[in-house]
Amino acid sequence: MKENPKHIRISEYNYPLPDERIAKFPLPVRDQSKLLIYRHGEVSEDVFTSLPEYLPAGSLMIFNNTKVIQARLHFRKETGALIEVFCLEPIQPNDYVLNFQQTEHAAWLCMVGNLKKWKDGPLCREMTVKGFPITLTATRGECRGTSHWIDFRWDNPEVTFADILEVFGELPIPPYLNRDTEESDKETYQTVYSKIKGSVAAPTAGLHFTPRVLDALTEKGIDLEELTLHVGAGTFKPVKSEEIEGHEMHTEYISVSRSIIKKLIDHDACATAVGTTSVRTLESLYHIGVTLANNPEATEEQLHVKQWQPYETECDVRPVVALQKILGYLDRHGMEALHTSTQIIIAPGYDYKIVKAMVTNFHQPQSTLLLLVSAFVKGNWHTIYDYALGHDFRFLSYGDSSLLIP
């Protein structure tokens, strides 16, 4: 049984991050960001457009094609109080696509800003969507942890919930940018390949890619594939406990097509992941395959990857075999894609199974994302971050990028 990381002290993953090093806005041209290259313990730097030069021809690169939704809705009470309702995940129906297609009612799990001013009764807002005047109401239901069940209703069957968010919602940029969302963020805080609506935060490693970089990767013979993980607000949730055992990872929803599973098998279960969201999805696939190897009749609920599962079950199944088990599961159920969820925490002590290289930005001190990076580079994250701090790299969502090859 491998070492369990529950007793890792998060204070050991701190570093000084002055506010001026946090990129408040992206560069005018996405792919002109700096690229830190960490290869087998050695650090160097280049510009992002050079990324294809560092990857082997014939390798497989996996992107997360999730699209950030305009998840913040603002209501003003008759008293003048402003209430923010921040949609986190769909409850009724709980499928993203179906929820966005609703035409009269949709329920979401939401964070509520200025909650103390919302005593009772529904919130209302008049608006015009697609030329139709409508009234949107939000009614507060049960409390679930730090979030609330919110029922949204509107009075026009021509208007979908997706339409309402598109017109009435605000893009939720990260809280540490300490600024209001601007019109430009609607474009710059989406990857150029974003397609599937559902995230409340961008998979930011992908923000550096442009059509010319994608074309250069393809010309080099690198196989490009996409999966979907909808990024939740929990990605910004600070680790408040001294040891990470006390930190509950948020659930994230993933969708992976059978064609990607087959492609991964063809590449001997080896991939370069773009972003920590792709990393969490790919590594979760391995543990889903292990579940199916141990229980071929597992239900969809049983495929959910629990936070500590990788450390508590024997993982002697080869990665290719684990992926074949998922393919078999999809075949038995006549499914074209695997839809499930993960709470995986990747921390030092974790043994990576599928991800062999990763493209990622520079993460917040004392974050679970820094733990994930540390596990990947065998604890050598200080070397990378000291270099980035000493060589004028820009940090966090709109900051510069790195390519990590342990």
Q: Specify whether 59 is located in the same domain as 196.
A: yes
Q: Are residues 140 and 53 located together in one domain of the fold? A: no
Question: Using an 8 Å Cβ cutoff, are 281 and 64 in contact?
Answer: yes
| In-domain check, residue 181 | no
The domain boundary residue, chosen from 123, 138, 170: 170
107 plus 196 within the same structural domain: no
Domain boundary at 126, 142, 170, which?
Answer: 170
The verdict on residue 178 lying in a domain is no
**Cβ(342)–Cβ(308) below 8 Å:** no
The verdict on 247 and 350 lying in the same domain is yes
* 241 and 353, same domain (yes or no): yes
pLDDT score for 1: 42
**Distance (Å, whole) CA 275 – CA 89:** 21
Residue 329 resides in a domain = yes
* Cα radius of gyration (the chain): 21
**Are residues 390 and 265 part of one domain?**
yes
- What CA–CA distances, in Å, run from 76 to 44, 169, 237, 274? 51, 14, 27, 40
In a domain, 63, yes or no: yes
- Retrieve residue 187's tokens: 């474009």
Q: In what order do the strands lie in the sheet with 105-113?
A: 72-76, 82-92, 105-113, 147-154, 132-144, 123-129
Per-residue pLDDT of the chain (406 residues; tens, 9 = 90+): 456 799 999 999 999 999 999 999 999 999 999 999 999 999 999 999 999 999 999 999 999 999 999 999 999 998 889 999 999 999 999 899 999 999 999 999 999 999 999 988 999 999 999 999 999 999 999 998 889 999 999 999 999 999 999 999 999 999 889 999 999 999 999 999 999 999 999 999 999 999 999 999 999 999 999 999 999 877 767 788 999 999 988 889 999 999 999 999 999 999 999 999 999 999 999 999 999 999 999 998 999 999 999 999 877 899 999 999 999 999 999 999 999 999 999 999 999 999 999 999 999 999 999 999 999 999 999 999 999 999 999 999 999 999 999 9
Q: Provide the 3-class DSSP secondary structure of residue 113.
A: strand
Pairing of strands 42-47, 60-64: unpaired
Q: Which residues share a beta bridge with 75?
A: 83
What's 228's domain CATH number? Answer: 3.40.1780.10
| Structure-block tokens of residue 115 | 């909650």
Euclidean distance between CA atoms 390 and 165, whole angstroms = 42
Query: Has residue 177 been placed in a domain?
Result: no
Q: Within 220-312, where are the H helices?
A: 258-266, 276-294, 309-312
21: how many CB neighbours lie within 10 A of its CB? 16
Reported pTM: 0.93
Q: Residue 186: how many CA atoms within 13 Å on its side-chain side? A: 9
Determine the pLDDT at residue 233: 74
Helix (H, G, I), strand (E, B) or coil at 332: helix
Question: Between β-strands 147-154 and 105-113, what pairing exists: parallel, antiparallel or unpaired?
Answer: antiparallel
* Parent domain of 84: 71-170
Q: Is residue 59 part of a domain?
A: yes
Q: Label residue 137 exposed, middle or buried (CB < 10 Å: 0-12, 13-18, 19+).
A: middle
Domain check: are 86 and 139 in the same one? yes
CA quadruple 40, 45, 47, 49: dihedral, nearest 10 = -10
Q: What's the CA gap between 286 and 295, in Å, rounded?
A: 14
Does some domain include residue 127? yes
**pLDDT in the model for residue 78:** 86
Residues 193, 323, single domain; the answer is: yes
Q: How many domains does the chain have?
A: 2
In a shared domain, residues 343 and 270: yes
Query: Which residues fall within 8 angstroms of residue 180, CB to CB, at 6 or more apart?
Result: none
Q: Last residue of some domain: 113, 142, 170?
A: 170
Edge-to-edge strand ranges of the sheet holding 401-405: 42-47, 34-39, 401-405, 355-361, 271-274, 60-64, 223-230, 252-257, 337-342
- The string of DSSP letters for 118-178 reads --SS-EEEEEEETTEEEEEEEEEEEEETTEEEEEEEES-TT--HHHHHHHH-B----GGG-
**Does some domain include residue 269?**
yes
Looking at the DSSP assignment, which residues form a beta bridge with residue 125? 136
Q: What would the two tokens of residue 220 be?
A: 């080099």
**The predicted structure's pLDDT at residue 313:** 82
Residues 34 and 85 occupy one common structural domain:
no
Residues 141 and 241 in one domain: no
Q: Are residues 63 and 75 in the same domain?
A: no
